[in-house]
């Protein structure tokens, strides 16, 4: 494939008369993790939700492998291969853990049919041992960390061409944050392309290859994540002490 896997150009999102995303452009190559960081209210989640079909942009282009998807509904985005794990996890609380996993696996057809889908579910259960012990429990009874793991597992089971992760570490204890990022790295090493919005800028820049800094709905900086981590402006704003960059 020539060009990026995902290409976003001049994306705009408004809530009434308030424009939250003002001409954001970004690209994600196949096999990359790309991070979006920035202060609260910068438009990061709005950008991700517009790419994933939860918000209808007021302007701009969203192309996956050259196919225009701006403004499509979330189910159409998933069918095309854009899978969003939204902030707040959005799992099906009253359904069991096992049912949530099956629904994820049914989001897109598997080339090998049900047998391949069942094998994929087993792979995710092995990846998340704490879920294996709770398969029959209602998803709403899980801890915050377990719910996040379930949401990520369900997203991976939808066979994404690109996985959009919105604030996967939000509200988690530091030990669980490290565990979640280890899982994100493992998913990436197995070939999944990831676009990540994350409050923990330090961790995001460690795991990503490229990064964009959003401020007031616009791209303020972008470049290799390792270089941005050394940028004095980012160090002063987001990387000093306890990182808080959401």
Neighbours of 189 (CB within 10 A): 9
132 within domain boundaries: no
- Around 49, how many Cα atoms within 13 Å sit in the side-chain half-sphere? 19
Domain extent for 40: 6-93+159-239
pTM of the model: 0.92
- The yes-or-no verdict on residue 199 having pLDDT over 80 is yes
Which whole number is the average pLDDT over 232-244? 62
CB of 242 within 8 A of CB of 169?
no
Number of folded domains that form the chain? 1
Residues 6+ apart with CB under 8 A from 188: 33, 194, 207
Alpha carbons 69 and 86: distance in angstroms, whole number? 18
In this structure, is residue 114 part of a structural domain?
A: no
Confidence of residue 226 (pLDDT cuts 50, 70, 90): very high
pLDDT at position 239 is: 64
Question: Is 103 within the bounds of a domain?
Answer: no
């Amino acid at each position: 494939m020539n060009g990026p896997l995902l290409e976003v150009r001049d994306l705009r999102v408004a809530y009434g008369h308030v424009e939250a995303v003002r001409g954001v452009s970004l690209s994600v190559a196949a096999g990359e993790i790309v991070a979006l960081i920035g202060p609260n209210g910068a438009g990061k989640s709005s950008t991700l939700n517009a790419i994933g079909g939860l918000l209808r942009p007021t302007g701009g282009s969203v192309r996956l492998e050259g196919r225009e998807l701006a403004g499509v509904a979330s189910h159409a985005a998933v069918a095309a291969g854009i899978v969003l794990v939204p902030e707040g996890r959005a799992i099906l609380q009253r359904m069991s853990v096992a049912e949530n996993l099956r629904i994820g696996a049914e989001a897109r057809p598997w080339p090998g049919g049900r047998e391949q889908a069942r094998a994929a579910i087993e792979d995710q259960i092995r990846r998340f041992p704490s879920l294996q012990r709770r398969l029959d429990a209602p998803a709403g009874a899980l801890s915050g960390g377990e719910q996040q793991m379930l949401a990520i597992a369900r997203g991976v089971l939808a066979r994404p061409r690109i996985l959009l992760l919105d604030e996967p570490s939000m509200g988690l204890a530091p030990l669980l944050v490290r565990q979640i990022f280890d899982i994100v790295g493992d998913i990436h090493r197995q070939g999944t392309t990831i676009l990540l919005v994350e409050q923990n800028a330090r961790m995001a820049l460690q795991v990503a290859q490229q990064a964009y800094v959003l401020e007031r709905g616009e791209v303020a900086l972008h470049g290799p994540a390792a270089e941005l981590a050394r940028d004095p402006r980012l160090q002063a704003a987001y990387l000093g002490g306890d990182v808080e960059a959401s």
